[in-house]
Amino acid sequence: MSDTLTSQPLFREDPYLREAPARVIGHTAEGGIVLDRSIFYPTGGGQPGDSGVLVWDKAEMPIATTVKGEGEAIVLVPAEPLPLPDAGTHLVQHLDWERRHRHMRVHTALHLLSVVIPLPVTGGSISASKGRLDFDMPEAPQNHDLIEEALHLLVERDLPVSETWVTDEVLDATPELVKTMSVKPPRGTGRVRLVRIGKSGDQVDLQPCGGTHVARTGEIGAIRLGKIEKKGRQNRRVSVLLDD
């Protein structure tokens, strides 16, 4: 596959887009499909790649996951070894919305977790039922219930979630915005996307992130704090679980 292929990331323009037309612009050697515009989010930043279905003519193809390809290409990975749609084929992409929306809820909840536990983050992951962050935390906190209550209060405040963009130079000048020690903010275009929770004097969080999020914290819904596990001498793993 040529590294000149570029997929327009529709999921970034509208994370609530559930279906959209697109055109096949290439295939990968591994059997992946590259579209000119994608509502499917590619695996990255701890968030899994999206799944769904492609439909064209009288055919359809289930998509198991989505990954980043060469350059700006977004690669859709078929769930079955079926014949691929030819380059130039016009089709409609249908997102597995329920799974994606749960990823969005969990991802925003993890940003809130990094607010109530203001320690450096050493790792993290997201699934459709729960998420976790690993913190540089030598001693386990004794206030499990207080942390959970603080999370609930931030959800109930129904704070708006928005994005803004800054240059690489601005981010370099404000390193405190980067909470993750192991995952570096996505760079390469000269600017970095920041996700903001709250606004004006009511802002509670601002950090680099390339993932998808709900529009307001109230949309996260019912959550609970999971176990706090020891993962090495300096690390503690803290989980957040969706209750519905």
Q: What percent of the chain has pLDDT over 70?
A: 93
In this structure, of 109-118, 147-156, 192-201, the range with the lowest mean pLDDT score is 192-201
β-partners of residue 136 are 235
Q: Confidence band (pLDDT; 50, 70, 90) for 231?
A: confident
pLDDT at res. 179 = 67
Contacts of residue 189, defined as CB under 8 A and 6 or more positions apart, other chains included, come to none
Residue 112 pLDDT exceeds 60: yes
How big is the CA angle at 134 (ends 132 and 138), to the nearest 5 degrees? Answer: 140
Report the pLDDT averaged over residues 17-26.
Answer: 98
Whole-number average pLDDT of the chain: 91
Q: What is the pLDDT of residue 232?
A: 83
| pLDDT for residue 44 is more than 50 | yes
| Assigned token pair, 162 | 């928005």
Name the DSSP letter for residue 183. S
Q: What is the DSSP letter of 13?
A: H
Determine the Cα–Cα distance for residues 187 and 119; give it in Å rounded to an integer.
23
Domains belonging to the chain, first-starting first, are 8-95 (2.40.30.130), 100-242 (3.30.980.10)
Specify the pTM: 0.91
